[in-house]
Chain A
Amino acid sequence: MSAALAPFASSAPLPVALPAALKAEPGGEHSPGERQLLDTIRRVAAPGWGSPGWAALIVLFHQFPAPGPRAHHRRVARALLDDAAQRHGGQVFALRNLDLVLLCPQAPLRAPLAMRPHGAPPGTPLGETLPELMLRLLRAETQAAAPPLALWSLPEQRHRLLAYAADRLAEVGLTPLDRAVARAEPPVGSTTAAETHVVPDLLLRQTAVFLDTAGAALRLRPLFREITYAAALQAETGIDPFEADPFLLRHFAIRLEQRLLAALPGEAKRGGALDPLAASPPLHLNLAPDAITTDAFAALAALCRAHGVRLGVEITLVDAGADPASYAAARAILAAGGITCAIDQASLLALRLTRLVTLAPDLVKLEWTPRLSRLSGPERQDLEADLRDIGPERILLMGADSEAALQWGLTRGIRRFQGRHVDAMLAASRLAICSHAGGCTLRQCTERASATAPAGRAGCRNTPLLDAGAPGEHAA
């Protein structure tokens, strides 16, 4: 049994019949759960009640790291707790701070859940109890060091439970609304409206660099400049990628990619932020495999080739895995054209669950998360093996938003980085040598460099430096 559940292990009285105090109370999402909980605990824990062997299992959703639990986390937890309550004569209390409390006899909570008859996949603990299952489900989601679960036995730990319930009651009226409910799915129509936006308004650009550690000081060598749209899409449409329908978002993104492909040749030789011929370092476009097999892409590739300009394409793991035949066709076109093929959005989970090397990309863009540096021994060994399989020279650490990210990558031989920390380093370098940077802040310079629309670049009086891949490439 996990250390987090240790208090529970210390007491093992036999189960007793359901007390009337529990039977009498109705439960439900819309009932005043805090008051019911406190009243019920007081009755159950009253002197002379004489029914030991109960426990409170509390799912501490309010402790979930930002942006909080998703709606399905709470739904599933509620279903599991309701099932236990129904089977064993307990009750579930749903609190306004999103926490769920199960009051139930202890014995069933200590018994293994039903076994699956056909064998469990590797890594699935057999014979786990409900608290252990909840802990495993939620710990994987929160990736938090502290377990989002409490298990207190009654009557031994009634004071802790009473204090907890009293605190929750005191919070009523002060707690935020249920975020899981508030983050509703956006209407389909919002994506339709977004399609009318001018393309540059929905785009951002971000430079990726090679971090040269050969000399005494770190040197940044720009590799490419990616045209992205996720953040701008969210800002313009109000769609939260975290909660929105991912299929709808993917549809919209592909429509946007098609519009971008159609627009880019027209930007050639205009010297704007989206000029594919002026781009130094080369542009990286996010495209679905099907877009790469179109005439529009062939025309853009031919234009770049004719002017000796390199180009790169980033394909999401989802797109590559959804239609491997299209991916293979696209990969062949890119290879024949000498165009870099990167697999985008390779998360830690993606490394764990898939074999990315089978896609044979030129570059894998691994998403940085602080969790990478907090892995347990076996997890770390698995990750290191995956990184070796891919080869650190083919890995770019994306979302590198801190010094810790760079350090983590550098110690594993990764030299390619992209993210807010890199943006800031580049902006600082520009500001250091820019003769027009009088009142410019680091943030302003960073944001202007990421903008593709003229409005976003307004205020900069040295756009050639802003557009240069690295300060050293352009005279101030």
Chain B
Amino acid sequence: MSTALSRPADDLAHDLRPSSAEDARRLSALVEECGTSGISRQVLLLRLSQLPDGRNRPHHIQLATDALLPLTGAARAHRFHLPNHDQVVVWRGDTPALAASLETLRHLFSDDPSFGPDPMALASILALPGDADFVRHIVADSLRPRLPPPIPRLGGLPLDPPTLLALERAIVQADMSRFVRREPICRTGSDGFRLMWERRYLSDGELFDTILPDRAPRADPWLFRRLTRTLDRRMLALLSAVGETRGAPPFGIDLNVASLLAPEFLRFDANLPTALRGQLVINLRAEDILTDLSSFCFARDFAIARSYRLLLHDVSLSQLALLPPDRLGIDLAQLRFTPALASEILPPAIDPGIIILGNADASALAWGRAQGITLFQGRIARPPVRPGR
């Protein structure tokens, strides 16, 4: 029998929020009203959905929720409980309650900073109507259905070509929107983390658990890579939906080289809003690049001409040494942090300014900072107040 303290955060959060979908709708309406009327409002965004494991217990959530209470007494204050557990308070004018709430939040997880959330990422101060796009984005993100984390696979049969074909057909017909995930890439500085862009991707693990639970698609790396092309097409189709990229903050997507040269991407590119041109990052994988270097060069030059930034995604240090970004002619590389990396150093020939340290936790942050790395992805790199401008 579960006790209050051992209950999953989802359960308790459900108890705490009165009507989260309705709150999301009300918040959206308020954002629109601010835009129409031009009346300024302050916003405090409390991203409880970003609390790391171990820090999202019911009592943590309750304490964080209580910390917002002083703000609810501010002028024209409204409090919103979003479906993903994030909370938003909107008010007019200055109020000393803001400092009190922030102070409480700052000390909430200070007992062990290594495992606590970054206070700057946990609570964000925004302003309406200037940050309307970002608040809309937060609301939309909160409405996306959350699936339970995938059950770790202990085995399963690898794919074979006939199963691959069947899987590709299934993916083409399936509703993929519920498998879309976002992952922030943040820059660290003296003022904490700042969101630079989000990686948007399809969670293939959750997808395969849903439609092919008895298989281990990654067990055959090359058939899996072939499958990613189908996922690329679906992701591009989702992004090409009306309104999906309008007003969107900078983001990155995973693509194969062949997908970058496919009709789906060319259509996506042709319809890309002008404001996003130069703001998108294309994540490419080492094995894909090496498979057809000639196509990679062609795709790279085309992408550069269309103002995309290219990122070598999820590489180890030895892959980075084999594929130096300056030789490849790409802008960024995401280095995968592992405990073993802590005893290594970044080769002097690699500019730390173009490295994103992925899978980052507290030890990764320490190692990365020592190497001069400022961009991070992972549990510790939690979202920022707003996209970097």
By a beta-carbon cutoff of 8 Å, the part of chain A in contact with chain B is 70, 72-73, 75-76, 79-80, 82-83, 113-124, 133, 136-137, 140-141, 188-189, 191-192, 245-248, 250-251, 254, 317-318, 320-325, 328, 347, 349-350, 352-356, 358-359
List, in ascending order, chain A residues with CB within 8 A of B229's CB: 247
Residues of chain B contacted by A117 (CB below 8 angstroms): 278, 307
Among B100-108, B120-128, B284-292, the one that faces the other chain is B284-292
Q: Are A355 and B329 in contact (CB under 8 A)?
A: no
Q: CA of A140 to CA of B304 in the docked complex: distance in angstroms?
A: 15
Does B212 sit within 8 A of A, measured CB to CB?
no
Determine whether B54 belongs to the interface, using a CB cutoff of 8 Å to chain A.
no
- B278–A353 touching, CB < 8 Å: no
Would you give the shortest CB distance from B291 to chain A, in whole angstroms? 5
Residue on B nearest A73 in the bound complex, by CB: B298
Residues of chain B within 8 A of A118, CB atoms compared: 278, 309, 331
Q: Are the CB atoms of A251 and B223 closer together than 8 Å?
A: yes
Q: Does B326 contact A (CB under 8 A)?
A: yes
Known contacts being A120-B304, A251-B222, A325-B316, is A355 close to B298, with CB within 8 Å?
Answer: no
Task: Report yes or no: B327 in contact with A116, Cβ–Cβ below 8 A.
Answer: no
Q: Which residues of chain A are near B211, meaning CB under 8 Å? A: none
Let me know if A140 and B292 touch, CB within 8 A.
no
A303 to B307, CA, bound (A): 56
Residue from B287, B316, B327 within 8 A of A355 (CB atoms): B327
Kindly state the separation between the CA atoms of A399 and B49 in the bound complex, as whole angstroms: 57
Q: Please list the 6 inter-chain residue pairs (A to B) with the smallest Cβ-Cβ separation, ordered nearest first.
A: A322-B287, A72-B261, A121-B329, A247-B226, A324-B318, A251-B222
**Known A122-B326, A245-B226, A354-B323; contact A349-B297, beta-carbon cutoff 8 A:** yes
16 A-B contacts, Cβ less than 8 Å apart? A72-B258, A72-B298, A75-B261, A76-B302, A117-B278, A136-B301, A137-B301, A141-B294, A192-B161, A246-B291, A248-B222, A251-B226, A254-B222, A322-B286, A358-B318, A358-B321
A188 partner residues in chain B, CB cutoff 8 A: 161-162, 164-165
Contacts A116-B309, A137-B305, A251-B161 known; list 5 others, CB within 8 Å: A117-B278, A121-B325, A140-B297, A188-B165, A352-B327
> Does B269 lie within 8 Å of A323, measured CB to CB?
no
Which residues, 260 to 309 on B, are CB-close (under 8 Å) to A? Answer: 261-263, 266, 269-270, 277-278, 286-287, 290-299, 301-302, 304-305, 307-309
Say how far A97's CB is from chain B's closest CB, in angstroms. Answer: 21
**Chain A proximity of B225: nearest CB distance (Å):** 5
* A328–B319 alpha-carbon span in the complex (Å): 11
B302 touches A137 (CB 8 A): yes
Partner of B290, one of A70, A80, A133, A321: A321
B162 with A114: CB separation less than 8 A: no
Q: Is the CB of B293 within 8 A of A76?
A: no
**A113-B307 Cα distance, complex, nearest whole Å:** 10
**Structural contact, A83 and B293, CB atoms closer than 8 A:** no
Interface assignment of B342: CB less than 8 Å from any CB of chain A = no
Given contacts A76-B266, A120-B304, contact A347 B298 (CB under 8 A): no
Residue B53 CB within 8 A of the other chain: no
Tell me, yes or no, whether B35 is within 8 Å of chain A by CB. Answer: no
Taking the complex as formed, is B366 at the interface, i.e. its CB lies under 8 A from any CB of chain A?
Answer: no
When distances are taken between beta carbons in the complex, the residues of chain B under 8 Å from A325 are 316, 318
A34 CB to closest chain B CB (Å) equals 24
A322 adjacent to B226 (CB under 8 Å): no
A75 touches B263 (CB 8 A): yes
Contacts of B302 in A (CB 8 A): 76, 80, 137
Taken together as a complex, chains A and B put the C-alpha atoms of A458 and B352 apart, in Å, by 61
User: Across the interface, which residues of B come within 8 angstroms of A191, CB to CB?
Assistant: 161
On whether the beta carbons of A116 and B278 are closer than 8 Å, the reply is yes
Q: Which of B266, B269, B305, B327: most chain A Cβ within 10 A? A: B305
CB proximity of B283 to chain A, nearest CB, Å: 15
Residues of B within 8 A of A354 (CB): 290, 322-324, 327
CB distance from B253 to the nearest CB of A (A): 17
